[in-house]
């Protein structure tokens, strides 16, 4: 932790990330208005420039952009974090299991992983959403399907290294059960690389969800994430009303940047092979 904070850029990233998370958590309490309570919106106030009554201006329905961004951040982070946690659990377990069980199970699983990773994430997600339709649950499902393979591969290779080590022999010698060996010994040791992959993947997931929502294939309009906010502002962009699209984009950028900065530093720290010589 001390080493982490000694890197100024990484520390900034971490601070930014904390702020972003705090905003997402407390959005209903810190937002100037509830952007989805139609009764509170005043059409007379639509498309106001930033400054004045509304710090970041308003959108076509007179919605305060700052509040919309706070709420959008909430949805974006929720989708990113939820899909990340599920994919990590699923992929991590499958990967460790593959390394532990070996044989047919391992080779088939890894084949699937290889084939899936050969396809760009956006394509896989797009197909799934096209098939499944819109919705928070569906987009989380699609993102999990896209991401699990990265975790599975990482977990397997980490677990393969651990499997060869002496303490594993000792654990087996002690007659510990398989489940116990996998859960208590292999998984914890495979976690540092999983965490590193995890930070990168969560950033990817957030960007991907925003992209899909922007294309109109992600979340329904009732739960707008940052991507949908940007899409909504798109039509006003060409007429010079930049703020409706611009500020949600900045929020999205800062979120992803913060996660990437933290991830970069984690990778340098947790991976001795990559640490600067």
Q: Whole-angstrom Cα distance, residue 277 to residue 267?
A: 14
Q: What is the rounded CA–CA span in Å between residue 187 and residue 207? A: 28
Strand partners, 51: 54
Among 53, 215, 221, 271, binds another protein (CB under 8 A): 215
Nearer to another protein, 171 or 237 (CB): 237
Nearer to another protein, 48 or 129 (CB): 129
Q: 57 or 92: whose CB is closer to another protein?
A: 57
Of residues 115 and 183, the one with the C-beta less far from another protein: 115
User: At closest approach, how far in Å is the CB of 206 from another protein?
Assistant: 9
Q: Of these, 216, 221, 235, 271, which contacts another protein (CB under 8 A)?
A: 216
Candidate segments 41-49, 100-108, 151-159, 210-218, binder of another protein by CB under 8 A? 210-218
Instruction: Check residue 17 for interaction with another protein (CB under 8 A).
Output: no
Instruction: Name the 3-class secondary structure at 58.
Output: strand
123 touches another protein by CB under 8 A: yes
Residue 203 in the binding site for another protein (CB under 8 A): yes
Instruction: Note whether 126 binds another protein by CB under 8 A.
Output: yes
44 binds another protein (CB under 8 A): no
Cβ atoms 140, 84 nearer than 8 A: no
Residue 178: C-alpha distances to residues 96, 159, 162, 168, 184 (Å): 12, 14, 15, 11, 10
Question: Binding string, 64-103, against another protein, x = CB under 8 A?
Answer: ----------------------------------------
Give CA separation, 167 vs 161, 189, 241, in Å: 12, 11, 63
**Residue-wise burial string across 236-259, b where 16 or more C-beta atoms lie within 10 A, e elsewhere:** beeeebbbbbbbbbebbeebbbbb
Give the contacts of 218 (CB within 8 A, at least 6 positions apart).
129, 134, 139, 209, 210, 211, 212, 225, 227, 228
With residue 42 as reference, give the H or E element that holds it.
none
Q: Is 214 an interacting residue with respect to another protein (CB under 8 A)? A: yes
Least Å distance between CB 124 and another protein?
9
Residues in the chain: 277
Show the binding pattern over residues 248-277: x = contacts another protein (CB under 8 A), - = does not.
-x--xx--xx--xx--x------------x
- The burial of 50, by beta-carbon neighbours within 10 Å (0-12 exposed, 13-18 middle, 19 or more buried), is given as middle
Task: List residues binding another protein (CB under 8 A).
Answer: 115, 118-120, 122-123, 126-128, 130-133, 203, 207, 210-211, 214-217, 227, 230, 234, 237-238, 240, 242, 245-246, 249, 252-253, 256-257, 260-261, 264, 277
């Amino acid at each position: 932790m001390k080493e982490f904070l000694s890197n100024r850029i990484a520390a900034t990233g971490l601070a930014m990330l904390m702020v972003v998370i705090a905003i997402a958590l407390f959005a209903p309490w810190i937002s100037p208005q509830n952007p989805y309570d139609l009764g509170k919106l005043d059409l007379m106030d639509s498309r106001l420039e930033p400054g004045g009554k509304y710090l970041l201006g308003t959108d076509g329905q007179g919605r305060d952009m700052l509040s919309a961004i706070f709420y959008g951040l909430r949805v974006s982070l929720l989708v990113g974090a939820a899909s990340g946690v599920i994919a990590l659990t699923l992929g991590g377990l499958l990967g460790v299991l593959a390394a532990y069980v070996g044989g047919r199970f391992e080779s088939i699983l890894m084949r699937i992983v290889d084939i899936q990773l050969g396809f760009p994430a956006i394509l896989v997600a797009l197909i799934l959403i096209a098939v499944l339709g819109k919705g928070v649950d569906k987009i989380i499902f699609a993102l999990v399907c896209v991401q699990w393979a990265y975790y599975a591969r990482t977990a397997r290779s980490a677990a393969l290294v651990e499997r060869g080590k002496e303490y594993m022999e000792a654990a087996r010698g002690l007659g510990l059960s398989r489940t116990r060996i996998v859960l208590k010994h292999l998984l914890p040791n495979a976690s540092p690389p999983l965490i590193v992959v995890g930070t990168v993947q969560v950033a990817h997931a957030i960007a991907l969800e925003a992209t899909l929502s922007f294309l109109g294939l992600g979340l329904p309009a009732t739960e707008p994430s940052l991507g949908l906010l940007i899409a909504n502002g798109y039509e006003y962009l060409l007429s010079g009303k930049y703020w409706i699209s611009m500020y949600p984009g900045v929020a999205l950028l800062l979120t992803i940047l913060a996660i990437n900065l933290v991830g970069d530093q984690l990778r340098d720290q947790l991976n001795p092979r990559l640490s600067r010589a």
